[in-house]
């Protein structure tokens, strides 16, 4: 397995849809340490080569994997991937960050949750609305996470720019 298939399988698990959508990004990602999924990080200089659309697509795929509590190792690797992508989008400016906004309407609640946390820093209202909707409708760990995220954000205990 090489290129996109190995990157996606290693970073965010077995995701055929992602493998079809993101060939440019995966072919540019170099990973720091091969065998242990929990220690894999895309290098920042490689993320810089990807388009905003590629980054957002990978963000969504990683958010789905990070929402899967059955595999902690892959979940943690996916969360690190999300944070690296968010940092890259922030470095590109507000227009690139706004590429996350459509994810607030994604069909997967885990993707909406991760996107809302990323969007909170630059567009509070739609992010808070998304988190509130998740907190009210989802009675799982995901809903609890949305509730705590809102509480901590409003109390000023989450990082802001």
Domain boundaries, the chain: 1-92, 102-161
Q: pLDDT, tens digit, for every residue of 75-95?
A: 998 999 999 999 999 999 999
- pLDDT tens digits, 15-47: 444 444 444 444 334 333 333 344 344 666 778
Specify whether the CB–CB gap between 158 and 120 falls below 8 A: yes
Burial-class residue 2 by CB neighbours within 10 Å (0-12, 13-18, 19+): exposed
Q: Binning pLDDT at 50, 70 and 90, where does residue 70 land?
A: confident
Q: What angle do CA 6, 80, 16 make, to 5 degrees?
A: 35
Q: How far apart are CA 36 and CA 133, in angstroms?
A: 36
For 15, other C-beta atoms within 10 Å of its C-beta total 19
- Judged against a pLDDT cut of 50, whether residue 10 lies above it is answered with no
């Amino acid at each position: 397995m090489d290129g996109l298939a190995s990157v996606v399988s290693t970073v965010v698990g077995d995701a055929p849809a992602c493998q079809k959508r993101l060939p440019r990004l995966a072919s540019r990602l170099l990973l720091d340490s091969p065998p242990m999924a929990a220690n894999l990080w895309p290098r920042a200089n490689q993320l810089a080569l990807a388009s905003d659309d590629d980054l957002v697509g990978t963000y969504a795929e990683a958010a789905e994997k990070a929402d899967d509590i059955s595999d902690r190792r892959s979940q943690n690797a996916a969360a690190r991937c999300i944070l690296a992508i968010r940092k890259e989008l922030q470095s590109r400016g507000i227009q690139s960050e706004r590429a996350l906004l459509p994810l607030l309407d994604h069909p997967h609640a885990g993707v909406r949750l991760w996107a809302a946390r990323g969007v909170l820093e630059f567009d509070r209202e739609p992010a808070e609305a998304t988190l509130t909707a998740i907190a009210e409708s989802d009675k799982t760990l995901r809903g609890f996470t949305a509730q705590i995220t809102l509480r901590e954000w409003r109390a000023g205990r989450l990082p802001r720019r």
